[in-house]
Chains A and B, each alone.
Chain A
Amino acid sequence: DQQVKQNSPSLSVQEGRISILNCDYTNSMFDYFLWYKKYPAEGPTFLISISSIKDKNEDGRFTVFLNKSAKHLSLHIVPSQPGDSAVYFCAASPMNRDDKIIFGKGTRLHILP
């Protein structure tokens, strides 16, 4: 039973354009959401997060949007760069359980030259 769903296994985007990665969740108790990035042969690295009290968080080229009513979040990368090619994991944490992170299956992003 996937509580965090990333329905696109892969995505290809032209360099310089916007990359939009989507994530849906089913557990209404989730109140903290994160995106992790993973290169081959490395562990995931934290990218950006958002609390359920916000609907947008921005950090440089990366913006995460949260739509609580739709149980949906998205990661926007603009402009996309070759170094952004990686697997992106959406993750969520339940209320009062910051020790418990549930990951999605990931979306592989390819940035095309």
Chain B
Amino acid sequence: DTGVSQNPRHKITKRGQNVTFRCDPISEHNRLYWYRQTLGQGPEFLTYFQNEAQLEKSRLLSDRFSAERPKGSFSTLEIQRTEQGDSAMYLCASSLAGQSGRAFFGQGTRLTVV
């Protein structure tokens, strides 16, 4: 197992376009998290899944954001009608339930909205 994998690593998009990111967690991990990190800040929680169920969404996750984990394996994060303020590093992490503090992070997808 190579750890948590995120694709793409970088994405440049024009304002107003839709983008989708993918995260492949560690295979035996049942929890999957999405975080956003902007310059000078720590990771900020967006949402998380236990298996295929989305259990919590942050108020940071506006209506333009949607996340899915259809079969409890990989996850996608879609941002519709991107805005310049969406520019950030989007981090995915996975863990076993009960060990969420020891989450394993992917390398992230850096989004730039121009």
Contact = CB atoms under 8 A, between A and B. Distances in A.
A81 interface: no
Interface residues of B, number: 26
B45 A101 contact: yes
A91 B93 CA distance: 15
B94 to A, nearest CB: 11
Given A43-B4, A98-B98, A103 B43 contact: yes
B101 A34 contact: yes
B104 A46 contact: yes
B107 interface: yes
A57 interface: no
A41 B107 contact: yes
A43 B101 contact: no
Contacts, number: 59
Contact of B102 (A4, A42, A46, A103): A46
A46 to B, nearest CB: 5
A102 interface: yes
B106 to A, nearest CB: 5
Contact of B103 (A4, A9, A101, A104): A101
A105 B44 CA distance: 10
Nearest to A45: B105
Given A42-B107, A43-B93, A43-B108, A103 B101 contact: no
Give the bracket for the number of chain A residues in contact with chain B.
Answer: 20 to 34
Nearest to A87: B42
A25 interface: no
Interface in A40-63: 41-46, 49
A99 B35 CA distance: 13
A104 B106 CA distance: 19
Interface of B: 4, 31, 40-45, 48, 50, 55-56, 91, 93, 97-108
5 contacts: A99-B97, A101-B45, A105-B40, A105-B41, A106-B41
